[in-house]
Amino acid sequence: MSTVLLVGTGQVGIRAARQIVDTPGCERLLVASADPARATGLAASLHAGAEGLPEHGAVVPADVAAVVVTTGGTRAREWVRAAVAAGVPVATLHDGLGPELDAPARAAGVPVVSGAAVTPGLSDLLARHAADLFDRVDEVHVARAGAAGPACVGEVRSVRAAVPGEWRDGAWIADRAYGPQLVWFPEPVGVRECQLVQAGVAATVATVPDAGLVTVRWCGAPSTGWLSTRVRRNPVDAGWGATRVEVTGLRSGATDTVVYGAVDRTAVMAGAVVATTAVALAGLLPGLVVATPGVRALGEVAVALPFLTELAGRGVRAAAFEGVLPSA
């Protein structure tokens, strides 16, 4: 009997819960939230095998096969730490857990997959899938637009406000102030101004370690207020999001570029990715993830092709750009 523990009942958590209970072999879903009533309500809306967990701190119950962490900040770290202490694999949306939790996870022999969302996450799967087409990969450029819930909007704003950075020739370059760049996403997101950020670069480098240049660009957070939607130039996405990956390298003796993308509701994409990662770590979807102890990026441990095929079966479909690449 496989039991999965879901922590967080935000926009992504709700979508992840549905994906988990729809996975064959998953017989029980426990839902934990800072608001116990919300956890109980979400469990009641699913099926008989789901139940809300009265949360008395971060404690992983016995017989849990995998933990999905969709909350952020301190609570996310507490739950990941608790899962590592309990010896249970973890999938989390959040990037940057490595410096703090990698050593304990390795010592405990527990796989922790961080950044299992859209970017990082789905974009890394697309980057790996594209990179497999090349004999040599020179550049990987990732872009992302959209945000899920209010917490995600805040995350987008803080990431764009932080110092940008890129991976160039085996070293971090973080000393330039870059302007925005136009990026063509699949419709209905379309063309967006995206700004260079540092978040997600490490995950992409871990996914395609041979690439000489890796950049990640994020579009601004969607405007939500009455005034900001009229004055500011940020888009009104209404939940839509997209990711785009451009890989350049040597293929059959010639330089070529492959562009992959995906578009859907941001929460749906992130929920599907983190849920699929968790059920794979729980052993319900064999062959999708190589469970390696320590904190790892999704693209580092996932087998891209079967993982993307599984996501397509769950409604999150990738697309390839065919045509002449526009130069902004």
Partner 1 sequence: MRNLRRGLLVAGMAILAGVVVRFRGRNPVPPTTGGWRALEGEALR
Residues at the contact surface with partner 1, assessed by CB under 8 A: 182, 184, 186-187, 191, 233, 260-261, 305, 308-309, 312, 317-326, 328
Is residue 288 helix, strand or coil?
Answer: coil
What separation in angstroms does the CA of 132 have from each of 14, 106, 126?
33, 28, 10
C-beta closer to partner 1: residue 21 or 304:
304
Smallest gap from Cβ 328 to partner 1, in A, equals 7
- What residues pair up with 111 in beta bridges, in sequence order? 294
Smallest gap from Cβ 303 to partner 1, in A, equals 13
Smallest gap from Cβ 256 to partner 1, in A, equals 15
C-beta closer to partner 1: residue 94 or 314:
314
**Separation CA 50–CA 55 (nearest Å):** 15
Query: Nearest-CA neighbor of 14 among 265, 232, 323?
Result: 265
Smallest gap from Cβ 191 to partner 1, in A, equals 5
C-beta closer to partner 1: residue 173 or 325:
325
Asked if 140 contacts 246 with a C-beta cutoff of 8 angstroms, the reply is yes
Q: Where are the beta strands (DSSP E) in 70-190?
A: 90-92, 111-114, 136-145, 166-168, 171-173, 181-184
Asked if 120 contacts 297 with a C-beta cutoff of 8 angstroms, the reply is yes
Smallest gap from Cβ 259 to partner 1, in A, equals 9
Q: What is the dihedral of CA 182, 239, 196, 75, to 10 degrees?
A: 180
C-beta closer to partner 1: residue 185 or 218:
185
**Separation CA 302–CA 129 (nearest Å):** 11
Token pair 């890394």 in the structure block, residue: 124
Smallest gap from Cβ 44 to partner 1, in A, equals 35
Smallest gap from Cβ 133 to partner 1, in A, equals 9
C-beta closer to partner 1: residue 79 or 307:
307
Smallest gap from Cβ 309 to partner 1, in A, equals 6
Task: Give the other-Cβ count within 10 Å of 2's Cβ.
Answer: 19
C-beta closer to partner 1: residue 181 or 292:
181
Extract the tokens encoding 44: 């009641």
Asked if 294 contacts 105 with a C-beta cutoff of 8 angstroms, the reply is yes
Asked if 295 contacts 102 with a C-beta cutoff of 8 angstroms, the reply is yes
Token pair 């993307």 in the structure block, residue: 308
C-beta closer to partner 1: residue 101 or 118:
118
C-beta closer to partner 1: residue 68 or 302:
302
**Separation CA 188–CA 269 (nearest Å):** 15
